[in-house]
Structure 1
Amino acid sequence: MGKKVLFFGDIGIDDAIALIFTYLTDKIDIVGIVADYGNVSREIAARNVRYLAGKIGKMDIKIMGGAQRSMTGEVPVYYPEIHGFHGLGPIVPPSDIPAEELENFFGVIEIIERYKEEIIIVNTGRLTSLATMFILYGDLMKQIKSYYIMGGAFLYPGNVTPVSEANFYGDPVAANLVFKYAKNVSIYPLNVTQRAIVTPEMVNYIHSKGKTDLVKPLLDYYYDFYKKRVPNIQGSPVHDILPLMGIMYDDMFTYYESQILIAENGTARGQSVGDFRNFFTPENLDNRPRQRVAVNFDYNKFFKEFMTVMTKEQF
């Protein structure tokens, strides 16, 4: 049995690739999925989870509806040009997929209590739902073994503003709450996720092995978008898979430890701030716990592990 993971995501293309990856490996056992707004609305995210669960034969996974909007109270902005209007690029899940999961968010409590201190939370979207758990159930959240979060850009260009990554920018209030109260957090920012490239050659080889027919349409669509934004890019960055890789292969990454603060307002909104000075590390950021930030990773190891899992061949 794999490590028990409770997955929070907004279920766009790279979230979908991450979930397919978990199905094909025996090292991770997804015990619940919270469908959040972000890449798409909460309703579409829940539909996408149900569709993916059916395609990969995991209909027994508990699916819960998460947040509809951020703690800032703003109306969410979606990005159909990146993930498509339905979140899965060219794939349009049937509209008759039930959405009864939308109002059962507190099923999260049952999952945490069932697995107690072995549960790991992975968050690949906005942090609104996760922050809500800390507001309502602070003592319960102390039972979480660890957190693996995709987000941020530390001394690295953002993908929404020059300094901000989309997950932290979308709800900086929630991100701040999580990093103030959560312990044992590992963060996978654009510093590493932007370099987690899956090339068209890799996609075609995975498709030829027939383990899943979802990877090629998803990543072909994603690559078409990225070629317009970054003309010299060699493939599709699969941002949301890196937190899962971190659970499985800790030595793939180089980490730096720091307290983390997220700018909430103005032109710096969503900027992820850490103290990366190796000569001076004062504990002055609101008495926050220190978190691990992935600042580098071994692409060759990523390539071998990704291709091995997705093709069932040894690379």
Structure 2
Amino acid sequence: MAQKVLLFGDIGIDDIIALIYASLSEEVEIIGIVADYGNLLRENALRAIYYLADILNYDELSVPIIAGAEIPMTSEFPETVPEIHGEYGLGPIIPPEDGGNGVSENFFDIVNIIRENEEELIIVNVGRLTSLATMFLLYPDLMSRVQGIYVMGGAFWVPGNITAVSEANFHGDPVAAQIVLTQANNLTIIPLNVTEQAIVTPEMVDYIDQVGNVDIVKPMIDYYYNFYKNRNPNILGSPMHDVLTIMAVENENMFTYQNLPVTIIQAIAGTERGQSIADIRPFSNLEEEEEQDIKNHRIAFGLDYSNFYMKFMTVMSGNRFE
């Protein structure tokens, strides 16, 4: 039986590829999508998701689309990144203007989804953590009954992708990130340590385009790759941050993990804003960490790339790779 997943995302290209992957996979069933600000303005994210829902034949009752947060808990106006993801998170693709009529403006529809599924539900957050943090503030008991939470975020002893030390999702709303890490008891973090290894090369994309059934994959990933190639001419392909986080739900053997105490730097500005720090000291003061509400969380540090490659290509192309 496929694992039920409620997805929170800021709807960039890798979010869209993650949803396409999930729609083609027998291991994951998306039962709701919360579209937040982040890579895009929320209104553009909703328009993109509604366009994708039509392509993937999502039923509005079985896969409700919910309008999430518009701004972070720091109250700043979010900065979007169309140069990475396109204006609508679809690269060069512009979705129809009339999309979005089936979007729920009732944020608390999330509550109904969780209550109806509770212990068989996994939450996957692949964008800023504002909406997820809001749920922890308002419904901590309900959130404790969710089977597990997977978050794409953070960078531990590797360079960040927004500052030298900070990853985009934690940097975009460090207040929300800290709330989630403080409140969650069943959290898995999928950081840049592994997601930047989840490279999809142009050759992989060309093969998927030739034999796969979703025409928008190649133009989106080509757009995404052009950004990364311009920034780093040595990069071999596009990192699939959010796809890897979806894959983590049902592919434990793809990763190596450590359980460590984690905290997020709350600076409003500066290089350190949103930095994720894991305490690896064997002599760390556990009493002090308990007083500061610092919890241990499971963090992915190693990726079996060959496993990722075979799984990704098999699902996206519909062909078995050995």
The answer for the alignment partner of 1:280 in structure 2 is: 283
Residue correspondence of structure 1 range 220-235 to structure 2 within 5 A: 220-235=222-237
- CA–CA distance in structure 1, aligned partners of residues 138 and 7 of structure 2: 19
The answer for the alignment partner of 1:20 in structure 2 is: 20
The answer for the alignment partner of 2:297 in structure 1 is: 291
- CA–CA distance in structure 2, aligned partners of residues 35 and 157 of structure 1: 27
The answer for the alignment partner of 1:309 in structure 2 is: 315
- CA–CA distance in structure 2, aligned partners of residues 212 and 281 of structure 1: 50
The answer for the alignment partner of 1:43 in structure 2 is: 43
Could you say what secondary structure the match of 1:103 adopts?
Answer: coil
Which segment is superposed worse, 46-55 or 287-296?
287-296
Which segment is superposed worse, 252-261 or 100-109?
100-109
1:100: how far off?
5.2
Residue deviations 1:229-258 (CA, integer Å, cap 9, x gap): 111000111110111111111011011111
The alignment's TM-score, normalised by the length of structure 1, stands at 0.97
The answer for the alignment partner of 1:131 in structure 2 is: 133
1:171: how far off?
0.2
1:99: how far off?
4.5
Give the gaps of 5 or more residues in structure 2.
none
Contact 2:47 2:88 (8 Å CA) reproduced:
no
Q: Over aligned residue pairs, what C-alpha RMSD do you find?
A: 1.1
The answer for the alignment partner of 1:200 in structure 2 is: 202
The alignment's TM-score, normalised by the length of structure 2, stands at 0.95
1:196: how far off?
0.5
Could you say what secondary structure the match of 1:227 adopts?
Answer: helix
The answer for the alignment partner of 1:166 in structure 2 is: 168
Could you say what secondary structure the match of 1:54 adopts?
Answer: helix
Query: Is it true that 1:245 corresponds to 2:247 in the alignment?
Result: yes
Contact 2:42 2:69 (8 Å CA) reproduced:
yes
Residue deviations 1:262-282 (CA, integer Å, cap 9, x gap): 0010431100011123x3343
Could you say what secondary structure the match of 2:249 adopts?
Answer: helix
Moved over 4 A (4+): none
- CA–CA distance in structure 2, aligned partners of residues 146 and 281 of structure 1: 27
Contact 1:197 1:238 (8 Å CA) reproduced:
yes
Could you say what secondary structure the match of 1:313 adopts?
Answer: coil
Residue correspondence of structure 1 range 87-166 to structure 2 within 5 A: 87-99=89-101, 101=103, 103-166=105-168
1:215: how far off?
1.1
Could you say what secondary structure the match of 2:80 adopts?
Answer: coil
1:98: how far off?
2.5
Report the residue type matching 2:277 in the other structure. Answer: V
Match of 1:300 among 300, 306, 319: 306
1:162: how far off?
0.3
Give the gaps of 5 or more residues in structure 1.
none
1:312: how far off?
1.4
- CA–CA distance in structure 2, aligned partners of residues 165 and 99 of structure 1: 33
Identical-residue share of aligned pairs (%): 53
Which segment is superposed worse, 286-295 or 170-179?
286-295
Report the residue type matching 1:270 in the other structure. Answer: G
Could you say what secondary structure the match of 1:101 adopts?
Answer: coil
- CA–CA distance in structure 1, aligned partners of residues 239 and 133 of structure 2: 27
